[in-house]
Amino acid sequence: MKQIKRIIAAVVVAVMTMGLFVTTAWAEPTETTITVTPVEGHTYTAYQLFTGDLAADGKTLSNIKWGSNAASSISYKTKDASGKYIVDVTTTAVAGEAVPPAVLEYLESLASKTETDPAQATANVIGEWVTGQGTEITSTGTTVLTGYYVVKDKYTYPNEDQTTTLSTFVCEVVGPTTVTPKAGTTEHKKDVLNVNDSDSTKTIDLTNLKGVAEASWVKYADYDFGDKVPFRLTTKIGSDFAKYDSYFLSVHDTLGSGLTLDDSSIEVYVDGVLAGQGTEDGKYQVVKNGQSFEVKFEKLNGNDKAAAGKDVVVYYTATLDSAQIGNPGTPNESYAEFSNNPNDEQGGTANTPKDKVVVFTYKFDFDKIAKKSDETGYEAKTGAGFTLYKQYASEQTDTDKGENQAANLGKPDTEFWYAVGAEKTGVTNFVFDGLDDGNYILKETTTPDGYNTMDNLEFTITATIAADTDATHGYKITALSGPSGFAASAEGGAFSFTRPKADGSGDENVTVKIDGTTDNLVSGEIFGQIINQKGSVLPSTGGIGTTVFYIIGSALVLGAGVLLATKKKAAN
């Protein structure tokens, strides 16, 4: 029996070195309490593995029997001929019956292992030896019978249904006991870069996202159709990382509709060092599934830069092909899946809460109109063509953008202006979807016959985006502006602007589009009307001038006839 006492004491000593700090004090036998230090999201359950007589030291059990939560089948190991614990054995556990000495000897062997965390080996085994509902522990104290208990700690992220990180099991001979958790919670977040192409202070180098200042990574951004949108996924490794022989980590990302992943842009860093791609330990794989993909480490432990508290960061870009105009924007979500149970050799996983960023884009459209012939109002005017140009802070090498059009727009060659797509013609309502904030010029590149070419319209699109708990995705456009005299709608709804009356008698307030189909704008839309002006009808040089010429010519002929007759008469 002294040997058994010593074995149990050895297990307790080993357990005291585990990831959860436990304090134990003297208690009378038969009944005692377990108290938990409350931590948000954590719940605790105590499972009685052994029962027995608690000695005066409050730590040592004698007359050890199987407890009320012992599993019916207990797997453990015994020594082979060489003295190594490698022979698998199974015994039946019945509550109240004596525990075989071989089981206690095996526990002692586990506790004496020379590992990074020797108590973890004990916890991994005996965590599988208990079953049933157990007894929930509270911060005010829960009464239990004296015995040897396994305390399991589960942590649930706020606002999530899924149980996540599990801390190391506490194994303790119970007198009064206080449990304080040190679970290794993994953290995750997603960010996006917000860029203004026209502002040199807000442009980026897409080839060096890792070098972008931390303050530039935000939760929302606005972009043009065709832009490459940079994203960053950051996962902080949990503090219990060292307890795992094999630590699984997978970063899951879902792109919003209209965004296309640029496969070659993915870069992964572990503690600031570029990680390799492959199937070997410490390397990652990329798995795609529609609008989702994951960056997966089957065994992160194989990367020598991986450690508790270090960041695994994924950078990538996605091309914005199409998207929701204005509010509510296009959401993009991500989360991390990670090893969450150091007590489970089979490797359980859990997920962090999802984190979200939102991408916005805007719409600029206008009607081309002209006065009716009776000047009683306006009507749609066909025959015009328009090209929209955007200013960039530097020369663009993307061949899709074409040549710098600064000279064509009357701008100095130190500025950089590029066409936003091809000329739009053949319509009376001109729509430019998917615009970012920045500086623009609208140029009439085809003019209807008999009308004057419009002066270039130079303007800036500006938008204000703010957090809003009532918004669909947590952020929304709260203000939007475009060319002077145009209506701009942040949240959608009725619009109005002022134009000259067709009869020239003053101005009028406009609340409908020229086709009269709607009096509302969508969120993120900038709308107006451009009035065609007829050219002046100048005097024709072939009209009165020719008549005068004929009259003068006739007079000269008559004059010549008279002169000829006079000369003949004089000669006679």
For residue range 125-135, what is the model confidence (pLDDT) as tens digits? 788 899 998 88
pLDDT at 70 exceeding the cut of 60: yes
What lies within 8 Å, CB to CB, of 125 at 6+ separation is: 76, 107, 110
Same domain, 247 and 175: no
pLDDT at 456 exceeding the cut of 60: yes
Per residue in 151-193, pLDDT tens? 887 766 555 544 455 555 555 555 555 555 545 578 999 999 9
The confidence score (pLDDT) of residue 202 equals 76
226 domain residue, yes or no? yes
Per residue in 90-116, pLDDT tens? 999 999 999 898 888 888 777 654 444
Same domain, 150 and 279: no
The confidence score (pLDDT) of residue 158 equals 54
- Answer yes or no: pTM beyond 0.85: no
Q: β-pairing, 177-180 with 31-36?
A: parallel
Same domain, 335 and 366: no
pLDDT at 546 exceeding the cut of 60: no
Give the mean model confidence (pLDDT) for residues 486-504.
88
**Residue listed under structure tokens 């090498």:** 397
Contact between 167 and 184 under an 8 Å Cβ cutoff? The reply is yes
pLDDT at 23 exceeding the cut of 60: no
Same domain, 6 and 130: yes
Which residue segment(s) compose the domain that 271 sits in? 187-360
> Could you give the CA distance from residue 341 to residue 46 in angstroms, rounded to a whole number?
17
For residue 220, the domain's CATH number is 2.60.40.740
Same domain, 491 and 570: no
Same domain, 113 and 130: yes
Kindly indicate the confidence band of residue 375, based on its pLDDT and cuts at 50, 70 and 90: confident
Same domain, 29 and 127: yes
Q: Which of 131, 157, 180 is the last residue of a domain?
A: 180
202 domain residue, yes or no? yes
Closest to 384 (Cα-Cα) out of 531, 201, 543, 550: 531
Contact between 75 and 88 under an 8 Å Cβ cutoff? The reply is yes
The confidence score (pLDDT) of residue 248 equals 94
What lies within 8 Å, CB to CB, of 380 at 6+ separation is: 367, 368, 369, 428, 429, 514, 515
Per residue in 380-396, pLDDT tens? 999 999 999 999 999 98
Complete DSSP assignment for 476-497: EEEEEE-STT-EEESS-EE--E
- What are the start-end ranges of the E strands in 106-256? 135-137, 142-145, 147-156, 163-166, 170-173, 177-180, 187-193, 217-218, 220-222, 228-236, 249-254
The confidence score (pLDDT) of residue 549 equals 42
Same domain, 249 and 328: yes
Same domain, 245 and 310: yes
The confidence score (pLDDT) of residue 51 equals 85
The confidence score (pLDDT) of residue 410 equals 95
Higher pLDDT, 272 or 30: 272
Higher pLDDT, 143 or 222: 222
536 domain residue, yes or no? no
Same domain, 222 and 194: yes
Average pLDDT, the chain: 81
pLDDT at 144 exceeding the cut of 50: yes
Rounded to 5 degrees, φ, ψ at 183 are: -75, 145
Q: Which of 138, 156, 180 is the last residue of a domain?
A: 180
Same domain, 129 and 197: no
